[in-house]
Amino acid sequence: MSAPMSGELSPQALPTEVSYEGALRPGSLSEFVGQEKVREQLGLLLGAAQIDGRTPDHILLAGPPGLGKTTLSMIVATELGVPLQQTSGPAIQHAGDLAAVLSALTPGEVLFIDEIHRMARSAEEMLYLAMEDFKVDIMVGKGAGATSVPLELAPFTLVGATTRAGLLPNPLRDRFGFTAHLEYYATSELEGVLSRAAGLLDFPLHDAGVVEIAGRSRGTPRIANRLLRRVRDYTLVHGTQPDERSVRAALSLYDVDEHGLDRLDREVLRIIVERFAGGPVGLSTLAASVGEEAETIESVVEPFLMRAGLIARSPRGRIATSLGWAHLGMAPPAH
């Protein structure tokens, strides 16, 4: 294989959006911005286990997407100085899939299962025993001749992540020694996330620009970092200053309004208001009307619109609040 000639870029040398996201991930608890309480709780749990020389209790990370669950699972492994194995609930469709992952773990390893609420039922039952006794029962053979063979596992720490803690069966939830509830970030915390990321990207964004992006990031670091990259693109291409004006121009180009609502959020709000006269409207009707998955509406759009006070939930469905009507420049009908 010939080495790339000077001036020629090898494909590996080209940074991608994914590698940017990886580069922005905090690598330790002390670099992790915000979520003060969770950081302290986790620090204590990991510190005590290290003093005792044992594997820490299993950890459940619960909270909306993009708040740092994957990042925290990596930090847990790094802080413990052990390898990390990653899988996800949808990848575990049979107990055998889980048995294969568990039996390959080395002592002390961290196993991260993202979207753990989407794992197959049969695998969930296998996981109970694995979490409690570091054992699994493997079924050998079929029908009347089937027998279960116990298999000892290396002690490990499970880190489960879920956006829907309520969907986890109690026996599974109870086997986690600690549940971290990740909350949406305060604007000041997002400013910290953005300043750190701007520094790593070598992008001298002005303080007013940091504040402007933080206010539009829906309490979510992943969104903050994404908007930051779009603003950086804008200043690179247009040769403008990394200031508040560039932030406004770039984010308006990408349809992110001053409250952080994007095209889909506004579409959902508009449909409730205009097509259903402010609601109530059921989730599946709403999802079909905007042409999106009900899961996306329920786990991404709705929590944000509710937190912003633009919609509310009633027993008969979603309704637009007076603030929601006002956001679209309309007044709710007089009753």
Ligand X SMILES: Nc1ncnc2c1ncn2[C@@H]1O[C@H](COP(=O)(O)OP(=O)(O)OP(=O)(O)O)[C@@H](O)[C@H]1O
185 is in an annotated binding site: yes
Q: Which residues are catalytic?
A: 69-70, 114, 163, 222
Smallest gap from residue 115 Cβ to ligand X (A): 8
**Residue 199 marked ligand-binding:** no
Q: Which of 70, 235, 246, 321 binds ligand X (CB under 6 A)?
A: 70
165 to 204: interface string for ligand X, x by CB under 6 A: ----------------------------x-----------
In the complex with ligand X, the residue whose CB is nearer, 99 or 165, is: 165
Is residue 246 close enough to count as binding ligand X by CB under 6 A? no
Number of residues that bind ligand X (CB under 6 A): 20
Given the complex with ligand X, which of 67 and 136 has the nearer CB atom?
67
C-alpha 263/C-alpha 251 separation (Å) is: 12
Strand partners, 313: 318
In the list 66, 89, 108, 279, the residue contacting ligand X (rule: CB under 6 A) is: 66
Integer Cα distance of 226 and 258 in angstroms: 16
Residue 245 marked in a binding site: no
Check binding of 24 to ligand X (CB under 6 A).
Answer: yes
Say which amino acid occupies 334: A
User: Which of 29, 34, 281, 304 is close enough to bind ligand X by CB under 6 A?
Assistant: 34
Does 324 sit near ligand X (CB under 6 A)? no
Closest C-alpha among 164, 145, 216, 159 to residue 185: 216
Query: Residue 175, annotated ligand binder?
Result: yes
Q: Which two tokens stand for residue 326?
A: 């006002």
Contact between 167 and 161 under an 8 Å Cβ cutoff? The reply is no
Alpha-carbon distance of 126 to 103, in angstroms, equals 12
Distance CA 111, CA 74 (A): 10
Q: How far apart are CB 74 and ligand X at their closest, in Å?
A: 8
Piece of the chain touching ligand X by CB under 6 A; list 9-17, 31-39, 150-158, 237-245:
31-39
- For residue 45, the tally of other CB atoms under 10 A from its CB is 18
Residues in contact with 197: Cβ distance below 8 Å, sequence separation at least 6, in sequence order: 24, 224, 225, 228
Q: Which is nearer to ligand X, 88 or 289 (CB)?
A: 88
Query: Is 318 flagged in the annotation as binding?
Result: yes
Residues 271-310 that bind ligand X (CB under 6 A): none
Which lies closer to ligand X via its Cβ, residue 109 or residue 114? 114
Ligand-binding site membership of 46 (annotated): no
Q: Is 62 helix (H, G, I), strand (E, B) or coil?
A: strand
CB of 213 to ligand X, least distance (A): 13
Shortest reach from residue 297's CB to ligand X, in Å: 16
Residue type present at position 317: G
- Residue of 38, 42, 59, 67 that binds ligand X (CB under 6 A): 67
Judge contact between 159 and 143, C-beta under 8 A.
no
Decide if residue 69 touches ligand X (CB under 6 A): yes
Q: How many whole angstroms from its chain centre is CA 162?
A: 8
Give which of 227, 294, 297 is closest to 260, Cα–Cα.
Answer: 227
Closer by beta carbon to ligand X, 285 or else 299: 299
Q: In the complex with ligand X, which residue's Cβ is closer, 28 or 148?
A: 28
Q: Does 32 bind ligand X (CB under 6 A)?
A: yes
Q: How far is the CB of 264 from ligand X (least distance, A)?
A: 16
Crossing angle for the helix pair 221-238 and 187-200, to the nearest 10 degrees:
50
Helix, strand or coil for residue 230?
Answer: helix
Strands 311-314 and 317-320, sheet pairing = antiparallel
Residues 6+ apart with CB under 8 A from 216: 227, 251, 256, 257, 258, 259, 260
125 belongs to the binding site for ligand X (CB under 6 A): no
Binding site for ligand X (CB under 6 A): 21, 24-26, 32-35, 65-71, 114, 193, 221-222, 225
